[in-house]
Amino acid sequence: MISTIRSEWIKLRSVRSNLVMMGVALFAPIAIVLLTVSFMELSSVSDVTIAELLAGSGTFSIMMLGVVGVLSVTQEYSQGTIRITLAATPKRLRVHLAKMAVVVGVAAVIMAIVLLVGRLAGSAILDSRGFGGSLGYDGEGAVYGALLVTAMVVAVLGCAAGTVTRNPPGAISALLLWPLVVESIVGGVLGVLIDGWKQDWMPFQTGLNGVLVSTHDLEFGRWGSIGYFSLWVAALSLLAVRLLRRRDA
């Protein structure tokens, strides 16, 4: 298993487009947070400001890490290397688990750096601009923890979506459009058709809502929402592994 993980890690970091996506996931949210705190009115800064900024820009980073997960799989199909991969490692479950392990690790490290740099540098900038108030609050750690976990879950989702579709544009489109468009439309239609329907039953949007600073309105709460989303991702991953094992390479 270690050999397979090492192999997948070499694959991921030896292609420029993957490095670009990882760079965007790392630097874009940090840049957004630091630029915002550098120029925003100090009067509008409160103890939740940095956490809110990190939750917003971190969601963008989460989607980019999902794309990294997609690319880690679909590149293999578009470039034909899946045949070498599966010939080198005939145990296909092991290949999928190794890919998941690598993208989950990358997602965790990138999100941890985003949170650490965003929080520390953001505070330093606000302090240097003369903001004297507190920049932390009791629930802050939960927001950062939710961002970290959701990034890892979406990276796993990317792997699963890539394995099911085997097509880079298709999987990336599905990943990005699903929470933004499909769940809104489907949820809206189901809301009309089913009495008592709740939009929080749409998994991806609910999962992403779990990273919000305020989670009072969530049907399942912060960790319940992320857990609910994770169950759907686990189900899709099981489908992906089943397809990977059954399909011809």
Q: Which stretch binds another protein (CB under 8 A): 72-80, 109-117, 196-204, 229-237?
A: 72-80
Assess 167 for contact with another protein (CB under 8 A).
no
- Subset of residues 228 to 247 that bind another protein, contact rule: CB under 8 A: 246
What dihedral angle (degrees, nearest 10) is formed by the CA atoms of 84, 242, 179, 66?
Answer: -30
Closer of 88 and 189 to another protein (Cβ): 88
| Residue from the set 31, 42, 88, 189 that interacts with another protein by CB under 8 A | 88
Determine phi and psi for 34, rounding to 5 degrees: -70, -40
| Residue from the set 24, 28, 48, 86 that interacts with another protein by CB under 8 A | 86
Q: Which stretch binds another protein (CB under 8 A): 80-88, 154-162, 174-182, 194-202?
A: 80-88
HSE-up of residue 162 (Cα within 13 Å, Cβ side): 27
Which tokens sit at 77?
Answer: 């199909």
| 33-52 footprint of another protein as x/- string (CB under 8 A) | --------------------
Assess 10 for contact with another protein (CB under 8 A).
yes
| Residue from the set 41, 138, 217, 248 that interacts with another protein by CB under 8 A | 248
Reading phi first (left if > 0) and then psi (alpha if -120 to 50, else beta), residue 130 is in left
In angstroms, the Cα distances linking 15 to 33, 105, 133, 136, 183 are 28, 17, 45, 39, 32
Assess 85 for contact with another protein (CB under 8 A).
yes
- Residue 209 neighbours by CB under 8 Å, 6+ apart: 200, 215, 218, 225
Assess 84 for contact with another protein (CB under 8 A).
yes
What dihedral angle (degrees, nearest 10) is formed by the CA atoms of 4, 1, 100, 12?
Answer: -20
* Count of residues that interact with another protein, criterion CB under 8 A: 27
Assess 75 for contact with another protein (CB under 8 A).
yes
Using CB under 8 A, list all residues that contact another protein. Answer: 3-4, 6-8, 10-11, 14-17, 75, 79-81, 83-91, 246, 248-249
